[in-house]
Chains A and B, each alone.
Chain A
């Protein structure tokens, strides 16, 4: 993908964030330095729209995961995308309060996100609103704990 095309996607992601919160940012990175070309933080309400836009651009779902920023009282949800036809990688991020970790599901856009979101729910207890089945995927079927939360025993 040409750098113009990446710029164009970045521009549309920037527009999505207006009126934006102060941590909504879009940046273009050197692939060799970070492992992606485009890194966008969007507000949770615009997440599905952003995923839909990347879908229309031909991106494929790579992974969905979380990061527990316990000191900031936030959960970060990270969506990775690869492009099967062009050498470009995009990252979408969003942050939600740790006390009420809820984001809309993108499994209607990318059915492959279904399992990734279930796994993220297992590990972090992040609730993907609209997800059809958030029963544990990798953890035992009666698991009511979320081991990758930083306050779960075993963390450093």
Chain B
């Protein structure tokens, strides 16, 4: 409130000179190629307009000139930090359309790999966010821990980031003993690390002063802009696609949906840190109860979904990721729509950043956890 009054006073005193500040498209705080055109009144933002599209690749058009299976690798390139979730949404949509049954073991494999991917994504956010705020050390810790997940997933899938591991009706490969032992070791390794993060970073008074009461995004704004994931959960709404529209076998697991009512950057920070713990819980349960059986069900050799449109949504690391497919019964999709969470999460930035200090707006931007290829698609 104070900030808003200050800016109003400042701009009505007869010296309302504003200037345009161009942030990006090559700025470290924008994580990729996002440009923000900011109209500044001194150090205060009067308008911050995101300019998108620098790495637009027209994935949705590519969906219309290749077969359903050929489009699958594209989905892992949309949000490269959360690739498992994106491929999951696409195979889920096709499975829903073609009524392909997925064997339980495959669903458990999907849950384990998706949750590991969520942890690795949150660790990148953690490191990069702290880097935005001026702390370099946490990045090194976070990337060290993330490396263990990347190694595990590389052993299983052959890829370190752009996993294309799920298949219509199952997965590409079965989990081996090495992966299972490694994952168990990782879970018991990661828990003390999270305690260390709390002592090193979360309880740090400088961090708290940078994040508390800064960057207010409330539940109503989230709903009006379609912001989901940790952004809406930091606004006090326990909305999680894994609970709201249960998919795969998420009904089988005990986990909490962390949410905070403060609406500020700190709330979003705490949500993600607790989500790492919850993902570890899910991984532990899924590994412990992994059913035997095939990892790939029966799927037609040529995929031709019946005419009509179908949606499938998953909880990706940044929020609600939905694939909407329209089929005309051919081997090639008629239309593929990718609903990306970062796109909606960024769309509220212009309104949320109005009247903020530039340095605080960068904290807000970091707390939204943007992945630019996810916005531009």
Chain A residue numbers with a CB within 8 Å of B224 are 60-61, 110-112
Q: Are B347 and A115 in contact (CB under 8 A)?
A: yes
Q: Are A123 and B343 in contact (CB under 8 A)?
A: no
Q: How far is the CA of A114 from the CA of B52 in the complex (A)?
A: 14
Q: Are A62 and B226 in contact (CB under 8 A)?
A: yes
Q: Indicate whether A87 sits within 8 Å of B65 (C-beta atoms), given known contacts A35-B93, A35-B312.
A: no
Q: Are B311 and A147 in contact (CB under 8 A)?
A: no
Q: Are B339 and A63 in contact (CB under 8 A)?
A: yes
Chain A residue numbers with a CB within 8 Å of B335 are 67-68, 148
Q: How far is the CA of A63 from the CA of B336 in the complex (A)?
A: 13
Q: Are B65 and A60 in contact (CB under 8 A)?
A: no
**Could you tell me the distance in whole angstroms from the C-beta of B55 to the nearest C-beta in chain A?**
10
Q: Are B239 and A63 in contact (CB under 8 A)?
A: no
- A89 interfacial by beta-carbon distance below 8 Å: yes
Report B226-282 residues with CB < 8 Å from chain A CB: 226-228, 232, 237, 239, 243-245
Partner of A156, one of B56, B65, B312, B348: B65
Partner of B320, one of A82, A87, A123, A138: A82
Q: How far is the CA of A108 from the CA of B243 in the complex (A)?
A: 30
Q: How far is the CA of A83 from the CA of B186 in the complex (A)?
A: 36
**Could you tell me the distance in whole angstroms from the C-beta of B150 to the nearest C-beta in chain A?**
30
Q: Mark A59-73, 1 if CB is under 8 A from B, else 0.
A: 111110101100000
- A96 interfacial by beta-carbon distance below 8 Å: no
Q: How far is the CA of A83 from the CA of B241 in the complex (A)?
A: 10
Report B351-367 residues with CB < 8 Å from chain A CB: 351
Q: Among the interface residues B61, B310, B320, B324, which one has the most CB atoms of the partner chain A within 10 A?
A: B324
Q: Are B65 and A154 in contact (CB under 8 A)?
A: yes
Nearest residue, chain B, Cβ from A83 = B244
- B112 interfacial by beta-carbon distance below 8 Å: no
Report B305-319 residues with CB < 8 Å from chain A CB: 308-313
- B376 interfacial by beta-carbon distance below 8 Å: yes
Q: How far is the CA of A34 from the CA of B344 in the complex (A)?
A: 23
| Interface size classification for chain A | 35 or more
Q: Are B343 and A115 in contact (CB under 8 A)?
A: yes
Nearest residue, chain A, Cβ from B343 = A115
**Could you tell me the distance in whole angstroms from the C-beta of A73 to the nearest C-beta in chain B?**
16
Nearest residue, chain B, Cβ from A39 = B309
- B160 interfacial by beta-carbon distance below 8 Å: no
Q: How far is the CA of A63 from the CA of B223 in the complex (A)?
A: 12
Q: Indicate whether A35 sits within 8 Å of B310 (C-beta atoms), given known contacts A111-B224, A114-B347.
A: yes
Q: Are A85 and B311 in contact (CB under 8 A)?
A: no
Q: Mark A137-156, 1 if CB is under 8 A from B, else 0.
A: 11110000001100000111
Q: Are B324 and A139 in contact (CB under 8 A)?
A: no
Q: Are B324 and A78 in contact (CB under 8 A)?
A: yes
Nearest residue, chain B, Cβ from A31 = B245
**Could you tell me the distance in whole angstroms from the C-beta of A75 to the nearest C-beta in chain B?**
12
Q: Are B226 and A60 in contact (CB under 8 A)?
A: yes
Q: Are B311 and A89 in contact (CB under 8 A)?
A: yes
Q: Are A67 and B322 in contact (CB under 8 A)?
A: no
Q: Are A35 and B313 in contact (CB under 8 A)?
A: yes
- B222 interfacial by beta-carbon distance below 8 Å: yes
Chain B residue numbers with a CB within 8 Å of A86 are 244
- A104 interfacial by beta-carbon distance below 8 Å: no
Chain A residue numbers with a CB within 8 Å of B222 are 60, 84
Q: Among the interface residues B237, B243, B245, which one has the most CB atoms of the partner chain A within 10 A?
A: B245
Chain A residue numbers with a CB within 8 Å of B309 are 34, 67, 78
Q: How far is the CA of A137 from the CA of B376 in the complex (A)?
A: 9
Q: How far is the CA of A33 from the CA of B92 in the complex (A)?
A: 11
Chain B residue numbers with a CB within 8 Å of A138 are 52-53, 56, 376-377
Q: Among the interface residues A82, A86, A89, A139, which one has the most CB atoms of the partner chain B within 10 A?
A: A82
Chain B residue numbers with a CB within 8 Å of A65 are 324, 337
Chain B residue numbers with a CB within 8 Å of A68 are 335
Q: Are B52 and A154 in contact (CB under 8 A)?
A: no
Nearest residue, chain B, Cβ from A82 = B320
- B225 interfacial by beta-carbon distance below 8 Å: yes
Nearest 9 Cβ contacts at the A-B interface:
A35-B311, A112-B225, A60-B223, A138-B53, A63-B339, A61-B226, A138-B56, A112-B226, A84-B239
A and B contact pairs by CB, cutoff 8 A, 24 listed: A33-B96, A35-B245, A35-B312, A60-B226, A62-B320, A63-B339, A78-B309, A80-B311, A82-B320, A83-B244, A84-B222, A84-B232, A87-B245, A110-B226, A112-B225, A112-B226, A115-B343, A123-B60, A138-B56, A139-B56, A140-B53, A148-B60, A155-B64, A155-B65
Instruction: Given contact pairs A35-B322, A84-B232, A139-B56, enumerate 11 new A-B contacts (beta carbons under 8 Å).
Output: A61-B226, A62-B339, A82-B226, A84-B222, A87-B243, A110-B225, A115-B343, A115-B344, A137-B52, A139-B53, A140-B53
